[in-house]
A and B are shown apart, each in its own frame.
Chain A
Amino acid sequence: MILFWILSVVLVASAVFTVSQKSPVYSVVGLLINFLALAAFYFTLDAEFLAVIQIVIYSGAILMLFVFVIALLSSGIGPFREGPNRMPRAFVPAVAVVALFLGLVVYGIARGPLVPTPHQPTSTIGAAGNANVFGSIADFGVALFTTYLLPFEVTAFILMVAVIGVVLIAGDAVPQPTLGHHAAPKRKRRRESIVKSR
């Protein structure tokens, strides 16, 4: 329980830090701490696999791309120059939205039992590698490829569409240093064939 409160404070503080920083790189550091705290939360909930995947995918891949883009955009000139201060105008709507959702949360808690029943595991906890264990990789995989097969495939398809879209949009702008003399015309033909086939 103490761990829960410490993690909560870290989580909320890092989230506030993320949105309140003027330099985007500081925001990224805040977000990194946020993701790590979230992963630690998953660990306390015995969801070892989810925790690790949270770090690998969100911190390791997605946030890394943020850093990449920010580093390139603000290259050579140090941090971004500061934009206009939008905090005053955003303050009132922000407080209203926060109040609304806080109200909803309080309403939800007030309607439910005052003391939440402690987490009762139905199976043995902790051996994430084995089947029939909460949060195990085996069960996760089985669920993903049987019960949730359609959503899984649809998600994969949407991501694929995004990848092809990026290649199509950025394809011509990127120089191809490796392919030698015949590279450019070949590439163009390929792109045209993709466009035509649409």
Chain B
Amino acid sequence: MLPAFGFALEAPWWVEVVVKSLVLLFIVVTTFAYSMLAERKILGWMQLRPGPNRVGPWGLLQPAADAAKMLLKEDLTPQTADTFIYRLAPFISLIAAMGVYAVIPFSESGNGLWSIGDVNAGILFVFALTSIGVYGISLAGWSSGSKYPLLGSVRSTAQMISYELAMTMSVVGVLILAGTTSLAGIVHAQNRLWFVIPQLGGFAIYLITAVAETNRTPFDLVEAETELVGGFHTEYSGLRFGLFFIAEYLNMITVSCIATLLFLGGWNAPFGLTVIPGIVWFVLKAGLFIFAYIWLRATLPRLRYDRLMAFGWKILLPAATLNLMLTAAVVAVTG
């Protein structure tokens, strides 16, 4: 429900959905462009160099220049590639990454939630789409018909499946406390206390697994340049590479939004500061996570692959299970 309209729209429901989707699409893609710029700038500052500063003031037009470059580059398809699936894969990634935004509520005002659809199985829907997104990567690697992409995609598939387990387990604790799977319902359940306090363990596990899910440093084994060239997207160029790139950044923004909704009370204002509208709080909180991920990338070296898998299966998954059982026990005893 966009507040700018100020009155109830007298249009069929699908018009509303299309308008909302277009507006959201624009916002999300712009967010992607500038979070990318922010990443390059912050990385630069952390490494004592200026970062992009040539295009526009402070490099602010850099995303536009990048987009133009992507569009104008030649789109190569290797001879050994399976053409149809090679072309299909980036779209699977991108559609899955964008589809998640259909259920994320960004704020709430008098006339309802600021979201396209309020799905009751919201958080499960997010997980479902995330699991579809893995296909983009694995099919891309397979269809490229060359060895580095294949190795990269097999790695990423194994990694994402392993960490998805721990991630889901860490979130179930929140679901038990909230008693609902609706994202808006989870936020409402945090009116008094953000779940980051009773679910500190789940929060930590979620943050770690989210980095692995989005294939970012220190878990970016998928595209480890030093050993796998470019990982699953080695053979992709031009716009198709761009689609993967967008999907990856959108996934990072998604996990930040989900972390905000599940653990930091979504658009709820802290310390009773309700003067500032909810959407500002939401953006601030999600931005905090995005900054943390960039910070991680600037700070940490890459993990070794076998350690990554051992960490996921032998530490994170048991820890998440323990957290889940403790939460369930506490909820069962207290009420």
- Which chain A residues have a beta carbon within 8 Å of chain B's beta carbons? 23, 25-26, 29, 32, 36, 39, 48-49, 51-53, 55-56, 59-61, 64, 67-68, 70-72, 74-76, 78-79, 126-130, 137, 177-178
Contacts and interface: CB of A to CB of B under 8 A. Distances in A.
Interface string B107-141: 00000000000011100110111111011001101
Given A56-B128, A129-B181, A48 B143 contact: no
Contacts of A78: 80, 82, 145
B85 interface: yes
Given A23-B82, A78-B82, A137-B181, A52 B121 contact: yes
Given A36-B132, A78-B82, 14 more contacts: A23-B82, A29-B85, A48-B120, A52-B121, A52-B124, A55-B132, A59-B135, A60-B130, A64-B131, A64-B135, A67-B135, A76-B150, A78-B145, A126-B120
A72 B134 contact: no
B293 interface: no
A52 B128 contact: yes
A64 B154 contact: no
Nearest to B305: A177
Main secondary structure of the interface of B (DSSP, over half): helix
B22 interface: no
B143 to A, nearest CB: 7
A129 B182 CA distance: 7
A67 B150 contact: no
A178 B181 contact: no
B121 A64 contact: no
Nearest to B147: A76
Contact of B119 (A23, A48, A53, A64): A48
B284 interface: no
B82 A79 contact: yes
Contacts of A39: 128
Main secondary structure of the interface of A (DSSP, over half): helix
Interface of B: 80, 82, 84-85, 88, 119-121, 124-125, 127-132, 134-135, 138-139, 141-143, 145, 147, 150, 153-154, 157-158, 161, 164, 179-182, 185, 306-307, 310
A72 to B, nearest CB: 6
Contacts of B185: 129
Contact of B161 (A49, A64, A126, A130): A64
B142 A26 contact: no
Contact of B310 (A74, A130, A178): A178
A32 B135 contact: yes
B147 A53 contact: no
Contact of A56 (B120, B127, B147, B154): B127
B88 A29 contact: yes
Given A29-B88, A53-B124, A55-B132, A61 B181 contact: no
Contact of A128 (B85, B120, B127, B161): B120
A26 B127 CA distance: 24
Contacts of B85: 25-26, 29
Nearest to B130: A60
Contacts of A128: 120-121, 181
Contact of A67 (B127, B142, B164): B142
Nearest to B157: A68
B131 A127 contact: no
Contacts of B82: 23, 25, 78-79
Please list the 9 inter-chain residue pairs (A to B) with the smallest Cβ-Cβ separation, ordered nearest first. Answer: A60-B131, A129-B180, A55-B128, A128-B120, A52-B124, A71-B142, A48-B121, A52-B121, A78-B145
18 contacts: A23-B82, A32-B135, A48-B119, A48-B121, A49-B124, A52-B127, A53-B124, A55-B129, A56-B124, A60-B127, A60-B128, A60-B132, A61-B131, A71-B141, A71-B153, A127-B120, A128-B181, A137-B121
Nearest to B125: A52
Contacts of A67: 135, 138-139, 142, 157
Contacts of B161: 61, 64
Q: Output the residue of B132, B141, B153, B164 with the most chain A CB within 10 A.
A: B132
A21 to B, nearest CB: 11
A55 B182 contact: no
Contacts of B135: 32, 59, 64, 67
